[in-house]
Amino acid sequence: MHPAPGGPRPRRRGSLGSAGPVGLVLAGGVSVQFGGALAVTLIPRAGALGVVTLRLFVAAVVLLLVCRPRLHGHSRVDWGTVVVFGVSLAAMNGFFYQALERIPLGAAVTLEVLGPLSLSVLASRRAVNLVWAGLALTGVFLLSGGGFGNLDLAGVAFALAAGAMWALYIVFSARTGRRFPQADGLALAMAVAAVLCVPLGIVESGTKLLVPATLGLGAGVAILSSVLPYTLELLALRRLPAATFAVLMSLEPALAAAAGFLVLGQALTAPQAVAITLVIAASIGAVLTQAGRGRTAPVEPEA
């Protein structure tokens, strides 16, 4: 969840200028994608749902301890909003890790980005967004090899479903942020997501989740993919325009491809590299188009 920055930010003496918050965002993005790469190595031990359970449970515990959200004084609408936010968070992570079990990390993130990209294009309603949509579709066509013959179809479907949940997550993240102070809503939503996923993880993995090495790796995934990037991004958004932040988040597929190559040995073919570049260009174009209208394109990182 990313609070919308508002008003001018005073310059601080000794700050790094724009390089400081930009570096924080990029570090958060690297953390997310290397957390995803670590999760891929953990899936054979605990299963996709087991990894999701460990990630969400550890992240929920950390956020609840840090934020200590107030449970009283909220309306039914407030709770309904945070519950839907939590459901979208659980579904987004569940679908994404199912995709990671079947297709390369770079491809999964590229397909997932189509969710927030579509939301951004639809929110803008400008003719120029047909160009961005065309770029994205061209990228997807190249990524699929002309028909997804080189990618597992179930993995593709899961990645696209994760993208749809990502779009829903963005909408309810913003609504939750307006109804709950600071990161309280995120902590509560993470708890809802963990409660939903824990039974599924237990059914799939059982006592495998209690193996110390598995618990340790799961905690690492939670820290790299949730706790650390959220902290870095919230710090960055205090001094970074939201539009700039959204452009930086559009680089997620490239960071994922790099993490997949360095950690998992998942090399890209030339058409796949071009495909990811086109989707990134479409995402950045949609963000800048939206920002040009005085609004920030709704692009946020995966939770």
Range of the domain at 100: 20-292
Q: Is residue 55 part of a domain?
A: yes
DSSP annotation of 303? -
Q: Is residue 96 part of a domain?
A: yes
Which pair of structure tokens corresponds to residue 40? 């891929």
Distance in angstroms (rounded) separating the CA atoms of residues 245 and 27: 12
Are 89 and 189 in contact by the 8 Å Cβ rule? The answer is yes
Q: Is residue 13 part of a domain?
A: no
Answer yes or no: is pLDDT of 249 > 50: yes
**How many domains are there within the chain?**
1
Which pair of structure tokens corresponds to residue 181? 């102070």
Q: Is residue 299 part of a domain?
A: no
* More confident of the two residues 284 and 122: 284
* More confident of the two residues 292 and 181: 181
Distance in angstroms (rounded) separating the CA atoms of residues 123 and 167: 11
Q: Is residue 49 part of a domain?
A: yes
Answer yes or no: is pLDDT of 7 > 60: no
* pLDDT tens-place string over residues 194-224: 999 999 999 999 889 989 999 999 999 999 9
Identify residue 228 by its one-letter amino acid code: L
| pLDDT at position 236 | 76
Could you give the percent of the chain with pLDDT greater than 90?
A: 33
Distance in angstroms (rounded) separating the CA atoms of residues 231 and 227: 6
DSSP string covering 207-243, please? GGGGSHHHHHHHHHHHIIIIIHHHHHHHHHTTTS-HH
Q: Is residue 11 part of a domain?
A: no
DSSP string covering 54-102, please? HHHHHHHHHHHHHH----SS--HHHHHHHHHHHHHHHHHHHHHHHHHTT
| pLDDT at position 124 | 65
| pLDDT at position 97 | 93
Distance in angstroms (rounded) separating the CA atoms of residues 128 and 106: 27
| pLDDT at position 272 | 81
Average pLDDT over residues 261-277: 85
* More confident of the two residues 10 and 154: 154
Which of 10-19, 75-84, 291-300 shows the lowest mean pLDDT across its residues? 10-19
| pLDDT at position 243 | 65
Q: Is residue 242 part of a domain?
A: yes
| pLDDT at position 144 | 66
Instruction: For residue 10, name the pLDDT band (cuts at 50, 70, 90).
Output: very low
Are 181 and 133 in contact by the 8 Å Cβ rule? The answer is no
Distance in angstroms (rounded) separating the CA atoms of residues 126 and 119: 13
Q: Is residue 300 part of a domain?
A: no
Average pLDDT over residues 47-63: 92
